[in-house]
Amino acid sequence: MKNLKKLYFSKMHGLKNDFMLVETLTQKFFFTKKLIQKFSNRNTGVGFDQLLIVENPIFKNTNFNYRIFNSNGLEVEQCGNGARCFARFVFKKKLIKNKKIKVSTKNRIITLTIKNNNNVLVNMGSPEFNPKCIPFLSNFEKSFYSLYINKKKYFFGVVSLGNPHCVLIVKDINKCEINKIGSILENHYFFPNKVNVSFMQILSKNHILLRVFERDVGETQSCGSGACAAVIVGIKQKKLFHKVKVDLLGGTLKILFNKNKNLIYMLGSAQHVYDGIIYY
């Protein structure tokens, strides 16, 4: 142990989407792809879907910079479940006194508000439907797109919430080939930066079931940005109201779209599991 370095961290989860959180304000650490993969191993490491890093702010109007790495070591732009855990982490560790927190991500600024009962409200910002900004290979913006997979035609919507999403509406979420179809769409050439794939079953205009195949991860217990993407695509296709209950494998989120401000909000829980030290 004498020659090993140590790193303080917390383990948290948002609807069973689990994270390793590390702050680099009081401890110095450089994350390599190899080290992240080592830490993410569920048998020999901490085990997590994503690593979340708290950094000093890089913009004057923010409190922190928020970085996200998948378990394979690749950095991604956004994670809604992680954002809720991020908020509770910095407040629990007394890195901030305010319950309203502004953080910069890889490509946008989001606002996190800590509520009662371990809940956090996240202002996810404005949805982006322009294909070039998602990115998605199409010359025109549409509510529906389609492509053939194994000679079967699939219809879907696309949107970016800082990260790319593809949303399919299905009749029965439990009879879908989530891993097979999700993997094909994730890696389809229509999506130059890959894509998160959501499978949505609509129960009513304010209640949906959702399963998400996350980019570079596979199916997870829940996905906050995926829930927001599904709702906003459903609204664009005139199938959902502006306030929707989303049931995922790991639990329930409430999604609200403010049409006047063009902002999408997510409310859900964030649970602290334990604090730890890892030697490397």
Active site residues: 79, 223
Which burial class, exposed, middle or buried, applies to 30 when counting CB atoms under 10 A from its CB (0-12, 13-18, 19+)? exposed
Token readout for 247 is 């049931």
Detail the DSSP E strand segments found in 106-163.
Answer: 109-114, 119-123, 145-149, 152-160
Please state, in angstroms and rounded to a whole number, the distance separating the CA atoms of residues 43 and 260.
48
DSSP string covering 178-210, please? HHHHHHHHHT-TT-TT--EEEEEEEEETTEEEE
Best CA proximity match to 53, nearest among 83, 94, 98 = 83
The encoded tokens of residue 84 equal 């809720």
Query: Which amino acid is located at 278 in the chain?
Result: I
DSSP state of 170: -
Q: Is residue 224 a contact partner of residue 83, using CB atoms and an 8 Å limit?
A: yes
Tokens describing residue 227 = 């829930």
